[in-house]
Structure 1
Amino acid sequence: MRWLAAGLAAALAVAGTGVAGQAVPVPPPTLTPAEVPASFGHYQPPRRYHEQVTHSFYVTLRDGTRVAMLVARPAQGGQPVEDRFPVIWHHSLSATQQPADGVGSRAAGFVTMPNLTDHGYVVVQVARRGNGQSFGTMRGYHDRNEAHDAYELIEWLARQPWSNGNVGQYGCSNTGDAAAHAMSVNAPHLKAVFAGCFSWNKYDAMRRGGIFAQWGTGPTRTIAQDMAVRPVDSDPDKVLLRLAAEQHQRAVPLFEVWKALPYRDSFSPQLQSPFWAEGSASSYRPQMVQGGVPLYVVGGWRDELRDQGLIAQANIPGARILIGDWLHCENDGFALVEEAHRFFDRHLKGIDTGIDRDDPIHYVVVGPNAWRSSKVWPLPDARPTPFALTARGLVEGVFTGAALRRDFAVDYAVNCEKSGFGPTMQPCHNPGNGWSIAGPPLTAAAEYTGHGVADLWIAADTPDANLFLYVEDVAPDGTVRVITEGRLKASLRRTAEAPWILPGGYPWHRAFAEDAQPLQPGQPARLQFDLMPTSWTFQPGHRVQLTLAGSDWRERARDPQAQPRTITILSDRDHPSSVVLPLIRQGGSGAGRPVATLRRAQPVTAADQSARVTR
Structure 2
Amino acid sequence: MIRTLVASLLIAAAPTALHAQEAPGFGRYAPALKYGDTVVTSEYLTMRDGVRIAVSVTRPAIGNKPAEGRFPVIWTGSLDIGGPNGDGGPISVRGGRFGMGTIVGHGYVVVTAARRGSGASFGTRRGYQDRNEAYDAYEITEWAARQPWATGKVGMFGCSNTGEAVLHSMTVLPPSLTAVFSGCFSWNKFDGFTRGGIIANWGTGPTRTVAEDMKSTPVDGDTGRTLLRQAAEEHQGSTNLFDLMVSMPYRDTTSPLTYSRFWGEGSASSYAAQLRTSRVATYILGGWYDDFRGQGLIAHANLPNRPRIIIGPWTHCATTGFEEGVAAEALRFFDQHLKGIDTGILADAPVHYFTVNAPAGSGWRSASTFPLPGTDMRSFHLGSGGVLTTRPGKAAQTAFPVTREGKCPGASGASAQPCHIRGLGASWSMPVAADTEITGHPMADLWIVSDAPDEHLFAYLEDVAPDGKVTVVTEGRLKASIRKASAAPWQMSGLPWHRGFREDSEPLTAGEPARLQFAMLPASYVFRKGHRLQVTVTGWDWRERKAPATASTIRIVNDARHRSIVQLPFAPAVYTVAYAQR
Amino acid at match of 1:130: G
* Equivalent residue, structure 1, for 2:310: 322
Aligned to 1:431: 422
SS in 2 for 1:416: coil
Change beyond 3 A, Cα 1:109–1:425: farther
The structure-2 alpha-carbon separation of the partners of 1:398 and 1:312, relative to structure 1 and needing over 3 Å to count, comes to: farther
Residue in structure 1 matched with residue 383 of structure 2 by the alignment: 390
Aligned partner of 2:398 in structure 1 is: 406
Residue 248 of structure 1 corresponds to: 235
Question: 1:421 offset after TM fit, Å?
Answer: 5.4
Alignment partners' CA distance in 2, 1:421 and 1:432: 22
What residue identity is the alignment partner of 2:220? D
Partner of 1:512: 501
> Is the counterpart of residue 87 in structure 1 residue 77 in structure 2?
no
Structure 1 segment 154-165 matched on structure 2, within 5 A: 154-165=141-152
Task: Select which of 229, 241, 256 maps to 1:269.
Answer: 256
Equivalent of 1:447, from 434, 437, 445?
437
Alpha-carbon distance, 1:107 to partner: 4.0
Aligned to 1:532: 521
Partner of 2:14: none
The aligned residue for residue 579 of structure 1 is 566
1:28-43, aligned counterparts within 5 Å?
39-43=25-29
CA contact (8 A) 2:114 2:120 kept: yes
Asked whether the equivalents of residues 458 and 568 of structure 1 are also in contact (C-alpha less than 8 Å), the reply is: yes
Match status 1:541 vs 2:534: no
* Percent of matched pairs sharing the same residue: 52
Deviation readout 1:289-310 (Å, 9 max, x if unpaired): 1022111000000000000111
Q: Is the 8 A contact 1:84 1:161 kept in 2?
A: yes
Query: Offset of 1:589 from its aligned partner?
Result: 9.8
Q: 2:91–2:157: 8 Å Cα contact kept in structure 1?
A: no
Aligned to 1:45: 31
| Contact 2:458/2:477 (<8 A) preserved | yes
Provide the secondary structure at the position in 1 that maps to 2:185: coil
Instruction: Specify the code of the residue in structure 1 equivalent to 2:380.
Output: F
Give how far 1:320 is off: 0.5
* 1:587 to partner: Cα distance: 4.6
The residue type paired with residue 165 of structure 1 is: G
Change (3 A) 1:220 1:214: same
Task: Provide the C-alpha distance between the structure 2 equivalents of 1:589 and 1:294, rounded to a whole number of angstroms.
Answer: 38
Secondary structure in 2 matching 1:545: strand
**1:54-99 deviations in Å (ceiling 9; x for gaps):** 0111111111111111100000021111211000000111111348
Name the SS of the counterpart of 1:313 in structure 2: helix
Worse overlay, 579-588 or 517-526: 579-588
Structure 1 counterpart of 2:193: 206
Tell me the equivalent position of 2:226: 239
- In the other structure, the counterpart of 1:96 is 82
Q: Residue 375 of structure 1 aligns to which amino acid in structure 2?
A: S
Map of 1:294-333 to 2, 5 A cutoff?
A: 294-317=281-304, 318-333=306-321
Q: 1:38 to 1:379 in 2, by over 3 A?
A: closer
Conservation of the 8 A alpha-carbon contact between 2:443 and 2:567? yes
Q: Distance in 2 between matches of 1:438 and 1:103?
A: 43
The one-letter amino acid paired with 2:368 is K
Q: Is the 8 A contact 1:102 1:173 kept in 2?
A: no
Query: Which residue of 46, 49, 55 maps to 1:60?
Result: 46
> 1:76 is aligned with what amino acid?
I
Residue 392 of structure 1, CA deviation:
4.2
Match of 1:346 in 2: 336
- Superposed CA deviations along residues 280-335 of structure 1, whole A, max 9, x for unmatched, are 01111111110221110000000000001111111112111000000000001322
Tell me the amino acid that sits aligned with residue 216 of structure 2: V
Are 2:160 and 1:177 equivalent residues in the alignment?
A: no
Q: Give 2:371's aligned residue.
A: 378
| 1:548-595 deviation line (CA, Å, top 9, x unaligned) | 1111111112245xx4421111111111100001013775599xxxxx
Query: Matched residues in 1 for 2:526 and 2:97: separation?
Result: 26
Cα displacement (A) at 1:380 = 2.4
SS in structure 2 of the partner of residue 520 of structure 1: coil
* Residue type of the alignment partner of 1:254: L
Change (3 A) 1:113 1:540: farther
Q: 1:126 to 1:583 in 2, by over 3 A?
A: same
Deviation per CA, 1:193-249, whole angstroms, max 9, x where unpaired? Answer: 100101100000011001111111100001110011221121121111000000000
Amino acid at match of 1:438: S
- Report if the CA contact (8 A) 2:386-2:427 is conserved: no
Does 1:551 find its partner at 2:540? Answer: yes
Aligned match for 2:127, one of 122, 140, 152: 140
* Structure 2 SS opposite 1:155: helix
Residue 580 of structure 2 corresponds to none
Instruction: Between 138-147 and 363-372, report the one with greater CA deviation.
Output: 363-372
CA distance in 1 between partners of 2:340 and 2:389 (Å): 51
1:163 deviates by 0.5
Amino acid at match of 2:159: C
- 1:14 maps to none
Matching residue of 1:464: 454
SS for the counterpart of 1:87 is: strand
1:261-287, Cα deviation, whole Å (9 max, x unpaired)? 011111111101110111001111111
CA distance in 1, matches of 2:126, 2:576: 50
Aligned with 2:280 (options 268, 290, 293): 293
Aligned counterpart for 2:352 among listed residues 362, 386, 395 = 362
Change (3 A) 1:148 1:421: closer
Amino acid at match of 2:339: K
Give the structure-2-normalised TM-score: 0.91
Q: Is the 8 A contact 2:287 2:312 kept in 1?
A: yes
Secondary structure of 1:86's counterpart equals strand
The amino acid of 1:465's aligned partner reads: E
Cα distance in 2 between the residues matched to 1:518 and 1:141: 30
